[in-house]
Amino acid sequence: MSQGWRYGDAMAARVTLQTIADRVGVSRMTVSNAFSKPDQLSVPLRQRILAAAQELGYVGPDPAARALAKGTTGAVGVVFTHSLRFAFTDLVATGFLGAIAEELAPTGLSLTLLTSSDDGDIVPARDVAMDGALVYSCDWTSRAVDFLHRRRLPLVYVDQDPVDDIPSVNVDDRSGARAAARHVLDLGHRRIGLLLSGTHGPYGLLDDPGVVDGHSSRQRLLGWLDEFGPAGVEVMSARQDGTGLEQARWGARLLLDRPDRPTAVLCFSDAVAYGVLQVAAELGIEVPRQLSVVGFDDNPLATQVRPTLTTVRQDIAAKGRAAAATLTATIARAKAGTSAPAEHVLLPTELVVRESSGPVNPQ
Amino acid sequence: MSQGWRYGDAMAARVTLQTIADRVGVSRMTVSNAFSKPDQLSVPLRQRILAAAQELGYVGPDPAARALAKGTTGAVGVVFTHSLRFAFTDLVATGFLGAIAEELAPTGLSLTLLTSSDDGDIVPARDVAMDGALVYSCDWTSRAVDFLHRRRLPLVYVDQDPVDDIPSVNVDDRSGARAAARHVLDLGHRRIGLLLSGTHGPYGLLDDPGVVDGHSSRQRLLGWLDEFGPAGVEVMSARQDGTGLEQARWGARLLLDRPDRPTAVLCFSDAVAYGVLQVAAELGIEVPRQLSVVGFDDNPLATQVRPTLTTVRQDIAAKGRAAAATLTATIARAKAGTSAPAEHVLLPTELVVRESSGPVNPQ
DNA sequence: CAAACCTTCTTGACCGGTACAGAAGACGTG
DNA sequence: CACGTCTTCTGTACCGGTCAAGAAGGTTTG
C-alpha cells in the first residue's frame, strides 16, 4: 500500500527526469526512455533508473509536460448543451455515456465531461486539453462547438445534423417516427396529439418544423408529419419548455385537459410519455382504451410503467459504442495524418408495440 | 456560426502566439497577455491583436502548453473502483456525480472520469493531467490511488476509510445501519438476514467484518452488528459477488429459499433490497406480512417499488456537493501553499419507514 | 525641476518532457 | 583487419506557453 510519499513536504523540490538522471549518472533522455520506451535501453540500467525513481518518489513523466511534447493527452471530451446534471439524470444519456465509457476503457482514454457554457473565465471547449471530442445533442448555435472546430480537434457528431466533413453517428429518428405515426393511423386514430420537448422556441411548430431545436426532435417531428400530412388527420401539438417531468406533465395537460382531446399522443421520448401517462391517470382517462400513448427511445422506463409503453426503440448502447469507436478512429487518422471521407453512421430504429396503444374507441 | 476553419488543411503550419506577435509586430508575451491578462495592455493594441488572431484562426492559448507553464489544467478527476459503466448505471452513483457536476460548473472545472484500472499502457491515475481528484468508494488496495498520492495531487476521499491527512466526505453509515437494526428489533424480529454486496471475498463475514471491502459496506455491517450482537438475535448472512441485480437476486434466494428463513432482511442498498422484493414475490412470500425488508440509501427506486421501501436515507446530492466543495477548497489551498488540517465531513443518515417493514407475525 | 510612479511593453529563463540525429562500443563477416 | 550493423546511450532542438524583472515613456508630486 501507499508509502514513500508524505504530506507536509509539499514544498519539497520537484523531482523531474533530470533529478533522476543526475542521481544515476545518465542523460535525461535515457531516463525518459526508461519510462516511455523500455526497449531502448538495457535491462539492468533500466532497473537502476526505476529503482532510483522509486527512491526519489518519482511517479512517472508529468502528464502536462508529456501532453505538450507529444501532442497527446489521453483524454477525450463529451460536450452537452444541457447542464451536466442531465447527463446523469436522463436514462438515455446515462445509457449512452455508459456505453462510451465501456468502449473507451480498453483504449486507456479517459472521459472528460464538458458543458457548452461559454460564459465565465474558463471555457471548457476552448481551454481543456483533449485529443478529440464527442458533440452530443448540442445546440448547433453553440459557440463551444465552434471553438472545438477551430481547435481542429477530431470530432464526432452524435444526434446532431450531419455535416459533410464531420463523422457522425445518428439513429434513424425519422423512420422511427414514421413507424409510430403509421401505427396509430392503422389503429384508426384521426385526432392526434404531438408532444415535443425542447429548451425554447415558439409553439406553432407545425407551421415550421425547422424551428424545433435539436436534431432528434426535428427529425422525429418530421417523421410524424410525413405520415400525418398525407393522411389529412387532425394534429394538435404542445411543446414543453424543458426536459423535466414537470414540463412533460404541463405539456400533457395542455393536450388532454380539453373536450376535443386527441385519442392518441405521440411523444418525443419515453420520459415525456411517462408524464402523459401520469396526467391521463389523474384526469381519469384510461390508457389505452380512451387514449393511446406512444413514446420514443425504449428507455428502461418503458417496461417499468403500467401500462407498458409502446415506443420506438433505438439501441442506445450501440450508439455509444459506435460514437466511441468512430472517435478513436478519427483521432488515430488525424494523428497519422491520413485523411479519409468522414463516416456517417445511421443506426436503425424499430417500433415496439406494448400495452399503451390500442384501437380507437373499442366497445 | 462556424466559419473561418476548414478541414483538409490539417497540415497547415500551426498558429502560435509567436505567429501573431510577428504579424502585429509585438512581443510574444504581449499577445499572451492579450488573452490571459487583458488589463496588462492598452485596449486598442489588444483589439489589434485579437483581430489578427481571429484572422489567422488562432483560438486561444494551447491548453496543454498552458497547463505545463501554469501548473493548472482546469479539470478534476473522479476515480472509481468499479467499471465506469457503474458510474452511469447505479442511481446512487449518478446522483452523486450529477451533484458534483452541478457544484463544479460555476468554477469552470471539468470532470474527468477515471477507472482505477492499472493494467495496460495508460494508467489514467498516473497519466492523465488534472488538478485534483475525488476518490470515490475505491478499493483501497488499488495501485491507482497510490499513484494519485505519489503525484501529490489534492485528493478528497468519499465513502472511504478516512485517513488523517486526506480530507474526506462520508455519511454516517454506521449510525444509519444501527437505526435500521433497532427498527426491526423493535418490530419484534429475532431471525434476521443480512445482505451485503461486494466485489470479492469470503462469505463468513460475520466472523470478521474487517474483511468486507468498501468502507460503506463495512460500516453498515458494523452498525447492524452493534445492535444485533447485544440483543443476541439469530443472524444469517449472504453476500453476492458483484453489484448487479442478478447478484442481489442470487443472494436473496440464498437467504429466503429455506425453511428457517429470516423474518426480516437488512440490505446494503435499495438496489439489493429491490432484488429481495422480487425474489420474495416469486417465492410467494408476502412483504411485509411474512417478511420485512429494509434497504439503504433512499434511492429514487425506494418509492417506485411496491411495497415502498423502508430504508436509511443519505442525502446523496449533499454528499456530491460537499465532495466537490471540499475538493476545490483543497486545490485552492494547495495552490496557495497554505496548509490547514484536513477536513472530515460526516453527513447524517435518517431512517425512513415505509411499507416494506412491519411487525413480526401479525395475525 | 528632479524624484517617484504608473502604465505599457519587452527580455530571458523556465515549465518537464519528447523527437531525432548521431556517437561509442560490441559483434559478426568476408 | 577493415567494414557494415546493432544496440545503447547522448546532445540539442523543440513543444507553446507563463513568470518575474526591467526598460521606455508619460504623469503626478513635493
For the purposes of burial, counting CB atoms within 10 Å of the CB of B144, is it exposed (0-12), middle (13-18) or buried (19 or more)?
A: buried
- Interface A-B, measured as beta-carbon pairs within 8 A, has a size of 192
Gyration radius of chain A over CA positions: 27
Most confident of A26-40, A194-208, A330-344, B187-201: A26-40
Positions of CATH 1.10.260.40 in chain B:
17-61
The helix or strand, by DSSP H or E, that contains position B311, with its residue range, turns out to be: strand B311-314
Angstrom CA distances, A47 to A16, A31, A32, A44, B223, stand at 17, 11, 13, 5, 48
> How many whole angstroms separate alpha carbon B305 and alpha carbon A83?
29
Number of separate helices (H) and strands (E) present in chain B: 14, 12
What is the C-alpha separation between B319 and B321, in angstroms, rounded? 5
SS3 B279: helix
**CATH superfamily label, B75-171+317-347:** Response regulator (3.40.50.2300)
- The model's pLDDT over B291-326, given as tens digits with 9 standing for 90+, comes to 999 999 999 999 989 999 999 999 999 999 999 999
The residue that minimises its CA distance to C1' of D18 is B69
Q: Tell me the residues of chain A between 75 and 94 that have a Cβ less than 8 Å away from chain B.
A: 75, 77, 83-85, 87-89, 94
For residue A115, give how far its alpha carbon lies from the nearest alpha carbon of chain B (Å): 8
Closest nt to residue A29, judged CA to C1': D10
Question: Which nucleotides on chain C have any atom < 7 A from a protein Cβ?
Answer: 7-12, 14-20
Which residues 129-148 of chain B have a CB within 8 Å of chain A? 129-130, 140-141, 145-147
Residue B7 scores a pLDDT above 60: no
pLDDT digit string, tens, across residues A212-271: 668 898 899 999 999 998 888 878 877 666 677 888 898 899 899 889 899 999 999 999
B34 beta carbon to strand D: under 7 Å: no
pLDDT at B211: 59
Percent of chain A with pLDDT over 70: 89
Q: Work out the burial of residue B122: count CB atoms within 10 Å of its CB; fewer than 13 is exposed, 13-18 middle, 19 or more buried.
A: middle
- Residue B23 CA and nucleotide C2 C1' are separated, in Å, by 40
From A8, A84, A165, residue closest to B105, measured CB to CB: A84
Strand (E) or helix (H) holding A277: helix A270-282
Question: Shortest Cα distance from A306 to chain B (angstroms)?
Answer: 12
d(CA A276, CA A282): 10
The yes-or-no verdict on residue B6 having pLDDT over 60 is: no
| Contact (Cβ atoms closer than 8 angstroms) between residue A336 and residue A141 | no
Instruction: Pinpoint the residues of chain B covered by CATH 3.40.50.2300.
Output: 75-171+317-347, 173-314
Q: Using one digit for the tens of pLDDT, what is the confidence trace for A61-88?
A: 999 999 999 999 999 999 987 778 888 9
Q: Please tell me the predicted confidence (pLDDT) of residue B310.
A: 98
For B47-78, letters b (16+ CB in 10 Å) and e give ebbbebbeeebbbebbbbbbbbeeebbbbbbb
Contact A272, A301 (CB under 8 A): no
Residue A283 has pLDDT above 60, yes or no: yes
The whole-angstrom distance between A77's CA and the closest CA on chain B is: 9
| Contact residues, chain A, for B306 at CB < 8 Å | none
pLDDT-based confidence at residue B121 (cuts at 50, 70, 90): confident
| Residues of chain B with C-beta less than 8 angstroms from the C-beta of A95 | 88
Residue A71: which nucleotide is closest by CA–C1'?
Answer: D15
Is the domain spanning A75-171+317-346 CATH 3.40.50.1360? The answer is no
Per 3-state DSSP, chain B is made up of helix, strand and coil in percentages (nearest 5) of 45, 20, 40
* A308 pLDDT higher than 60: yes
pLDDT band at A296 (very low <50, low <70, confident <90, very high): very high
- A17-61: CATH topology is 434 Repressor (Amino-terminal Domain) (1.10.260)
- Tell me the average pLDDT of chain B: 88
Q: Which of A122-131, A245-254, B42-51 has the lowest mean pLDDT?
A: A245-254
Q: Which residue out of A39, A84, A145 would a mutagenesis test of the B interface target, given it has the greatest number of B Cβ atoms within 10 Å?
A: A84
Range name among A140-149, A193-202, A255-264, A297-306 with the lowest pLDDT average: A193-202
Q: CB of A4 within 8 Å of any CB in chain B? A: yes
- The closest CB to that of A110, out of B85, B95, B124, belongs to B124
Would you call A11 and B108 a contact, using CB atoms and an 8 Å cutoff?
Answer: no
Please tell me the least confidently modeled range out of A232-241, B20-29, B71-80: A232-241
Q: In this complex, do A7 and B68 lie within 8 Å of one another by their Cβ atoms?
A: no
Domain B173-314 grouped into CATH 3.40.50.2300: yes
Shortest-distance nucleotide from A67 CA to C1': C17
Looking at residue A3, its pLDDT comes to 32
pLDDT computed for residue A167 by the predictor:
97
Cell numbers standing for residue B53: 488572431
Instruction: Please tell me which of the candidates A65, A74, A98 has its beta carbon nearest to residue B128.
Output: A74
Residues of B in contact with A53 (CB under 8 A): none
User: What gap in Å lies between CA B285 and CA B291, rounded to an integer?
Assistant: 7
DSSP letter (8 states) at residue B309: P
User: Using CA atoms, how far apart are residues B41 and A283, in angstroms rounded to an integer?
Assistant: 65
Lowest mean pLDDT among A162-166, A175-179, A196-200, B69-73: A196-200
Find residues whose C-beta atom lies within 7 angstroms of strand C: A 14, 16-18, 28-29, 32, 35-37, 61-62, 65-66, 68-70; B 26-30, 33, 39-42, 45, 68-69
Closest nucleotide to B30, Cα to C1': C9
| Higher-confidence position of B9 and A140 | A140
A361 touches strand D (CB under 7 A): no
- Residue from the list A5, A98, A129 with its beta carbon closest to the beta carbon of B88: A98
Q: How far apart are CA A142 and CA A155, in angstroms?
A: 15
**Residue whose entry in the numeric block shows the C-alpha cell 389523474:** A282
Please report the pLDDT score of residue A143 as a whole number. Answer: 84
Interface of A with B in 150-179 (CB under 8 A): 150-152, 165
| Contact: B122, A63; criterion CB under 8 Å | no
> Is B328 within 8 Å of B286 (Cβ atoms)?
no
Q: What is the DSSP string of B68-100?
A: HHHS--SEEEEEESS-HHHHHH-HHHHHHHHHH
CB spacing of B94 vs A109 below 8 angstroms: no
Across the interface, do B87 and A110 touch by the CB < 8 Å criterion? no
A91-95, A175-179, A204-208, B255-259 — most confident range: A175-179
pLDDT for the residue numbered A363? 42
CA distance B250 to B229: 26
In this prediction, residue B206 carries a pLDDT of 54
pLDDT cut 90: percent of chain B above it: 69
Q: How confident is the model at residue B208 (pLDDT cuts 50, 70, 90)?
A: low
Q: Is the pLDDT of residue A6 over 50?
A: no
Q: Where in chain A are all domains bearing CATH 3.40.50.2300?
A: 75-171+317-346, 173-314
Mutate to test the interface with A, among B127, B155, B306, B338 (most CBs of A within 10 A): B127
Quick one: cell of B263? 423474518
- Which residues, 6 or more positions from B342, have their beta carbon under 8 angstroms from its beta carbon? B164, B165, B166, B167, B168
- State which residue has its Cα closest to the C1' atom of D14: A69
A353 touches strand D (CB under 7 A): no
* pLDDT tens track for B141-179: 678 899 999 999 999 999 999 999 999 999 999 999 999
How high is the pLDDT of residue B203?
39
CB neighbour burial string for B272-299, b if at least 16 within 10 angstroms, e if fewer: bbbbbbbbbeeeebebbebbbbbbbbbb
Q: Phi and psi for B163 in degrees, rounded to 5?
A: -120, 140
Q: Which nucleotide is nearest to A58 (CA to C1')?
A: C16
User: Residue A150 — very low, low, confident or very high, per pLDDT cuts 50/70/90?
Assistant: very high
Name which residue leads in pLDDT, B242 or B130: B130
pLDDT value of position A84: 80
